[in-house]
Amino acid sequence: MRLFRSDDLLGIARETLEFVLEASEETHPNEYMGFLRADDARKLDIDREGQVITDVLVIPGTESNPVSATVRSHMKPNDMRSVGSVHSHPNGALRPSDADLATFGQGEVHIIVGAPYGWGDWKAFDNEGAQTTLDVLDVEVPDQHFFDFTQEDIDRELIAEGRDRGVVPPDERGRIGDDDENEGGFLSWFR
């Protein structure tokens, strides 16, 4: 049971499904793999309790080839928004393999996308591998703020560290660079 939200999965955002189809096509002939994340439906202006899939998380270091995709499970975050997985079958088969079923343990829904990656080339499955219905919803997907900073923020931090315009930050004694390099000159007054 999850705290503070309904477990009902209402569907997937159209924009998210478009992303999955495009990513699968771009990865072809190799498999594409990611984890599905959901937001509270009320956050998306849906007047119902439940969740909508709005995001796909791709784990760094995922390796894929034409017949499989391998995720470094230790890299997967413990994410309360995680609701399942998505992967492609470059051969076009829209049914889970035995290997797929072995990975379906976590999450509520698992999407398989098959070549040629059009609107009808995907199916959703539950943890047992039974096909399930997943509605495609026209909702506004919230902006993700993983990197919520501006260029001004970056510049300010670089200046504070002394790394703007090639300036090396001082060491713990206030000196800059090697002793041999700073005999006199403009920066010698820091000593």
Same-domain status, 95 and 25: yes
1 is a domain residue: no
Same-domain status, 42 and 120: yes
Predicted local confidence at residue 162, as pLDDT: 65
Pick the catalytic residue from 22, 31, 128, 172. Answer: 31
pTM, 2 dp: 0.68
Sign of the dihedral through C-alpha 157, 160, 165, 171: negative
Given a contact cutoff of 8 angstroms between Cβ atoms, the answer to whether 39 and 52 are in contact is yes
Predicted local confidence at residue 60, as pLDDT: 65
Same-domain status, 126 and 180: no
102 is a domain residue: yes
145 is a domain residue: no
CB under 8 Å to 168, separation ≥6 — which residues?
162, 176, 177
Tell me the CA distances in angstroms from 98 to 52, 88, 114, one per residue in order: 28, 15, 17
Nearest to 135 by CA among 8, 10, 6: 10
Query: For this structure, is 157 an active site residue?
Result: no
Q: Retrieve residue 93's tokens.
A: 């088969």
146 is a domain residue: no
CB under 8 Å to 151, separation ≥6 — which residues?
none
Domain that holds residue 34: 9-137
Same-domain status, 14 and 55: yes
- How far apart are alpha carbons 28 and 72 in whole angstroms? 21
- Structurally, the chain folds into a number of domains equal to 2
Predicted local confidence at residue 2, as pLDDT: 40
Question: Going residue by residue through the chain (191 aa), what tens digit of pLDDT does each one get?
Answer: 343 445 689 999 999 999 999 999 999 999 998 889 999 998 888 888 999 999 998 876 667 666 766 665 655 556 657 899 999 999 999 999 998 998 887 789 999 999 999 999 999 999 999 999 999 999 988 776 444 445 665 666 667 666 555 544 444 444 444 444 444 443 333 33
Given a contact cutoff of 8 angstroms between Cβ atoms, the answer to whether 15 and 76 are in contact is no
Residues facing 51 on adjacent strands: 9, 40
Predicted local confidence at residue 57, as pLDDT: 86
